[in-house]
Amino acid sequence: MGEVEAVVGTAPRVLDLACGTGTITTRLLARFPDATSTGVDLDPALLAIAEGTFAGDDRVTLVTADLKDPDWPARLPHDSYDAVLTATALHWLHREPLADLYGQVAGLVRAGGVFMNADHMIDESTPRINQLAAEDPVLAEPTARRYEIYGDHADGDMPSVQWHARVPREKGFGEARPVCCSPSDTLLLAMK
């Protein structure tokens, strides 16, 4: 949230993209009581939890929409946002719909605003480090079991960190780059 404050201040209008239960919105409002948040998701169970969490809080609006539907932004209560934030959700999208989504997000972030995506993104330029992480004695077996249970995200179509930094720039952001990463996860920051 420090990046949000540094770029857009302490009372931002935020779009919590693929909000799930509203974890980002909860953290946002705890840090910035004057912020407002629009949470958008398709999952009715997760949205029901979010509705229970934010019942009676007029700073929060929840919207049901499919991010693969090209008209989903029309369901939002605002045409622009100071910040669009998302975490561990967009990896379920294949490259083409994800690239389209980045373009839609660029259209929603105001000039000078920020987009942050914390998600699973492998840095393909570090194969030895990636291999060491995959062989971690504590996480290797549970990670392998996780893939047995859930399969590979987006049928294995997992764009690299470099792809995630390049495509938002191609879709309308002035700058985009990873600001924090581990061998398997990255926080991408893009600015208009």
For residue 111, being part of any structural domain is answered with yes
For residue 140, being part of any structural domain is answered with no
* C-alpha to C-alpha distance for 84 and 158, rounded to whole angstroms: 21
* C-alpha to C-alpha distance for 137 and 27, rounded to whole angstroms: 32
Q: What is the pLDDT of residues 125-141, one digit of tens each?
A: 777 776 777 777 876 77
For residue 70, being part of any structural domain is answered with yes
Residue 183 and residue 129 in contact, taking contact as beta carbons nearer than 8 Å: yes
CA atoms within 13 A on the CB side of 121: 25
**84 - beta bridge partners?**
15, 115
Q: What is the pLDDT of residues 155-171, one digit of tens each?
A: 666 778 888 899 999 99
At 180, is the pLDDT very low, low, confident or very high (cuts 50, 70, 90)? Answer: confident
At 42, is the pLDDT very low, low, confident or very high (cuts 50, 70, 90)? Answer: very high
Angle between helices 161-170 and 95-108 (to 10 degrees): 50
Q: Is the pLDDT of residue 33 over 70?
A: yes
For residue 102, being part of any structural domain is answered with yes
Looking up residue 12, the CATH number of its domain turns out to be 3.40.50.150
Range of the structural domain that residue 87 is part of: 2-124+155-191
pLDDT at res. 73 = 98
pLDDT at res. 136 = 77
Name the average pLDDT for the chain.
Answer: 88
Among 84, 117, 94, 108, smallest CA distance to 16 is for: 84
Number of domains in the chain: 1
Three-state DSSP class for residue 89 = coil
Enter the pTM of the model. Answer: 0.85
Three-state DSSP class for residue 16 = strand
Tokens 């992480």, residue located: 133
